[in-house]
Amino acid sequence: MWNLLCFNFISHFDVRNNMLEVFKTSIDKAIQALRKEVGEVVLIHHDEADGVCSAALAKAALEKMGYGIRTVCLDKLFPEVLEKTLSRNRVVVFTDIGSAHVKRIESLISREGLAVIIDHHDTEPASRENVFNINPELYGYVGEKDASASTVAYFFTKSVDEELSRLAHLAVIGSVEVPGAPSGLNKLALKDALEKGVVEESGKDFKITAEGFMLSRTRASQILTILASVGYYRGGVEKAIDACTHGFASETLRFSESLEEERKKANKALLALIAREGLGEKKNVQWFDSRGFFKNMGSKVLGSFTSYLSYQRLVDSSKYLLGFMKIPRDIPGYGSLEEDYVKVSARAPSELKSMIDNGSKPPLSRVLPEACSKHGGFGDGHSVAASGVIPVGAEESFLETFDALVETLC
């Protein structure tokens, strides 16, 4: 019996160790390809703490290689942005965004181009030799449990130069979005951060002790997300990335506090309006429009508000909840979109969550993307939370389609 237990333990250890080595090999191959193409690179990243931290880590690694870097922060990977960026730039790196678009990237990239995707979301293997998909999901890890994009970026950055392991705290901050105790690659990155003295245990959380931080990782994550989302059109993304590598300057903290207060006021005003006027309703769906309350903020704020609203009493907990917000054409670091778009955020309130879990209602990950695609848009997400983009003017027909799809996909 003892021998069998020992064998099982050793076998499990060998498997996990082999997973890590194969994962690291995928990183080394991407780095080798990047070292051959040193020049200019476009770094596309997501607009919350994990996207910001992973971008800061990748930026540090690319700078160490000698690259000149232009960053583009996105809530959604617009097809036209993807197409133009890949056609106009030889090297493009994605962090915390791109995993769901591997095949699209492969179809657009030129033979001379190079794309590197650093992510942890659901994905599929890359089949072209100039597209590198660095994703732990491909090597036996669970992306929503064992790694954040920041942790994947940390292993990438550390492999470029061991000296950059001093940035291990960014993996710890980026991993706040991953629920539960640290496991897999997140646990290894945390171990490095503790050994480097840039993180220490603090009750049930961890305190970031790197120079310029001295606050909990949860609070650091909140500040970075506020800067990048609420301050999206006002230099907040750049301030967030700079804070990752240089710490939070007092000016940056004051800016984040003013943004947080601005968002709270907008949330309060919109909630009061919805309480007075009610939600729009159909058989299976209820919705609201943000009515300009989030003007000058990034579209990520719509998702945060929709999540908050889904727990309020004025919401029918058995119906899908949708929120709409017009997106400005301008994308900092990129330029202007060719069309006007509306962001759609979708959430499942409590009763609906149970119905999705037992299979009596379809998950948002099926309904929303299909509804968006039928109206010239696109979407993605999870079973009880998803988001997408549709052209301005398609809202009414989109709602009709969404409501009907709930019936047909049941």
Give the burial class of 192: count Cβ atoms within 10 A of its Cβ; 0-12 exposed, 13-18 middle, 19 or more buried. Answer: buried
Residue 284 confidence (pLDDT): 98
Contact present, 246 and 308 (Cβ < 8 Å):
no
Residue 10 confidence (pLDDT): 45
Residue 9 confidence (pLDDT): 43
Residue 17 confidence (pLDDT): 73
Tens-binned pLDDT, residue by residue, of the chain (410 aa):
545 445 444 444 455 678 899 999 999 999 999 999 989 999 999 999 999 999 999 999 999 999 999 999 999 999 999 999 999 999 999 999 998 899 999 999 999 999 999 999 888 999 999 999 999 999 989 888 899 999 999 999 999 999 999 999 999 999 998 888 899 999 999 999 999 999 999 998 999 999 999 999 999 999 999 999 999 999 999 999 999 999 999 999 999 999 999 999 999 999 999 999 999 999 999 999 999 999 999 999 999 999 999 999 999 999 999 999 999 999 999 999 999 999 999 999 999 999 999 999 999 999 999 999 999 999 988 889 999 999 999 999 999 999 999 999 97
Amino acid at 248: F
Q: With b meaning 16 or more CB within 10 Å and e meaning fewer, what string describes 297-306?
A: bbbbbbbbbb
Helical residues (DSSP H) of 144-293, grouped into ranges: 149-160, 168-174, 184-196, 217-229, 236-246, 250-277
* Full set of structural domains in the chain with CATH: 2-192 (3.90.1640.30), 272-408 (3.10.310.40)
Which run of H or of E encompasses 3? helix 2-35
Residue 15 confidence (pLDDT): 56
Contact present, 59 and 69 (Cβ < 8 Å):
yes
Residue 122 confidence (pLDDT): 83
d(CA 372, CA 399): 10
Instruction: Tell me how far CA of residue 255 lies from CA of 38, 239, 295, 305, in angstroms.
Output: 35, 9, 17, 21
Partner residues linked to 203 by β-bridges = none
d(CA 60, CA 66): 10
Token pair listed for 289: 């429009």
Which run of H or of E encompasses 280? strand 280-281
Q: What is the pTM of this model?
A: 0.91
d(CA 55, CA 85): 17
**Phi, psi (deg, nearest 5) at residue 380:** -160, 180
Contact present, 147 and 138 (Cβ < 8 Å):
no
Widest Cα–Cα separation across the chain: 69
Among 110, 134, 130, 131, CA closest to 61 = 134
Among 154, 76, 174, CA closest to 389 = 76
Residue 1 confidence (pLDDT): 56
Residue 12 confidence (pLDDT): 47
